[in-house]
Amino acid sequence: MPGPIDLHAHSSVSDGTETPAQLIRAAVAAGLGTVALTDHDSTAGWAEGFTAASGTGITVVPGMELSTRFGWKSVHLLAYLFDPLDAGLVAETARIREARLRRAESIVTRIAADYDLTWADVLAQTAVGTTIGRPHIADALVARGHVTTRSAAFESILHPRTGYFEPHYAPGPLEGVELVVAAGGVPVLAHPGTRGREGVIPEDRLRALVDAGLFGLEIDHRENTKGGRERLHELADKYGLAVTGSSDYHGAGKPNRLGENTTAPQVLERLVARGTGSSPFRD
């Protein structure tokens, strides 16, 4: 339906603080016409999101934020309208979620040597099937009173410089794009400009992603720097990539508000025309 288009939001299926139904109700209350549900490495919220959207008029674009990794750098890949039962993607996301679980246990073991924190504290911040991540460790640290907010945990105990950090297995960005495309989906690089102009993906590597079917760049995102955005616009123009904008809403887990950045209707139209693995939900 007409109204602002926000193509990046998380529910409690990953590290958002609202259930998929609560998230959809918040999107309706915020006046959005379209919202994409993009939990980390999981499609488990789609059905609940669709059900909650029923009768509200809002359009829900089914999606996911796929974890990929280039060396030590985590690279997030938004994926839309893919087949949620695609065997390749199902197997890879299961592998990533399993690796996330083992890595979270390992981080917690090391933190627990210095702070009063147990694995049960962290599990208490999740539900069955949640894609676990550092935000859940952060929430457990808040519950234990070691820090006051999730963001404060990231700036202190969970900061990579403290030594508790470790990465988890994830496929490379090119493999990620190939998996999404093979599943009929539409891949968009998530917040690719957070590390400044010089930190934007090198052009030859971007070209490989474009050749594999990359659709767009999420340029309008609060964490992209000014220099990063300028470089990304140059690259989008040169390679004919779509430009998206979104909030990356995490409920109470981040200050990001639904609709704070939006995507043009023409871009959504092209995205929907490209996706063949699933359809936007509207009722």
Residues that bind ligand AMP (CB under 6 A): 15, 133-135, 150-151, 154, 250, 253-254
What minimum distance in Å lies between the beta carbon of 215 and ligand AMP?
Answer: 21
What minimum distance in Å lies between the beta carbon of 65 and Fe ion?
Answer: 5
Considering only residues 83, 86, 121, 248, which one is a binding residue for Zn ion as defined by CB under 5 A?
248
What minimum distance in Å lies between the beta carbon of 75 and Zn ion?
Answer: 12
What count of other Cβ atoms lies within 10 Å of the Cβ of residue 173? 26
Secondary structure (DSSP) of the chain: --S-EE--B--TTTT-SS-HHHHHHHHHHTT-SEEEE--BT--TTHHHHHHHHTTT--EEEEEEEEEEEETTEEEEEEEES--TT-HHHHHHHHHHHHHHHHHHHHHHHHHHTTSS--HHHHHTT--TT----HHHHHHHHHHTTS-SSHHHHHHTTTSGGGS---------HHHHHHHHHHTT-EEEE-STTTT-GGGSPPHHHHHHHHHTT--EEEEE-TTS-HHHHHHHHHHHHHHT-EEEE---B-GGGSS--TTSS---HHHHHHHHHH--SS--B--
Considering only residues 39, 41, 48, 65, which one is a binding residue for Zn ion as defined by CB under 5 A?
65
Residue 8 lies near Fe ion (rule: CB under 5 A): no
Considering only residues 3, 61, 64, 76, which one is a binding residue for Fe ion as defined by CB under 5 A?
76
What minimum distance in Å lies between the beta carbon of 211 and ligand AMP?
Answer: 27
Q: How many residues bind Fe ion (CB under 5 A)?
A: 3
What minimum distance in Å lies between the beta carbon of 248 and Zn ion?
Answer: 4
Residues 145-184 as x/- pattern, contact with Zn ion by CB under 5 A: ----------------------------------------
Tell me how far apart the alpha carbons of residues 7 and 4 are, in angstroms, rounded to a whole number.
10
What minimum distance in Å lies between the beta carbon of 104 and Zn ion?
Answer: 17
Tell me how far apart the alpha carbons of residues 35 and 58 are, in angstroms, rounded to a whole number.
8
- Do the bridges between strand 34-37 and strand 5-6 make them parallel or antiparallel, or are there none, so unpaired? parallel
Residue 15 lies near Fe ion (rule: CB under 5 A): yes
Residue 37 lies near Fe ion (rule: CB under 5 A): no
Residues 189-218 that bind Fe ion (CB under 5 A): 190
Nearest residue to the partner Fe ion, using Cβ: 76
Partner interacting with residue 134 (select from Fe ion, Zn ion, ligand AMP, none; CB below 5-8 Å by kind): ligand AMP
Q: How many residues bind Zn ion (CB under 5 A)?
A: 2
What minimum distance in Å lies between the beta carbon of 211 and Fe ion?
Answer: 24
Tell me how far apart the alpha carbons of residues 168 and 55 are, in angstroms, rounded to a whole number.
40
Specify whether the backbone of 115 is left (phi greater than 0), alpha (psi in -120 to 50) or beta.
Answer: beta
Residues 148-187 as x/- pattern, contact with Fe ion by CB under 5 A: ----------------------------------------
Partner interacting with residue 151 (select from Zn ion, Fe ion, ligand AMP, none; CB below 5-8 Å by kind): ligand AMP
Residues in contact with Fe ion by CB under 5 A are 15, 76, 190
Residues in contact with Zn ion by CB under 5 A are 65, 248
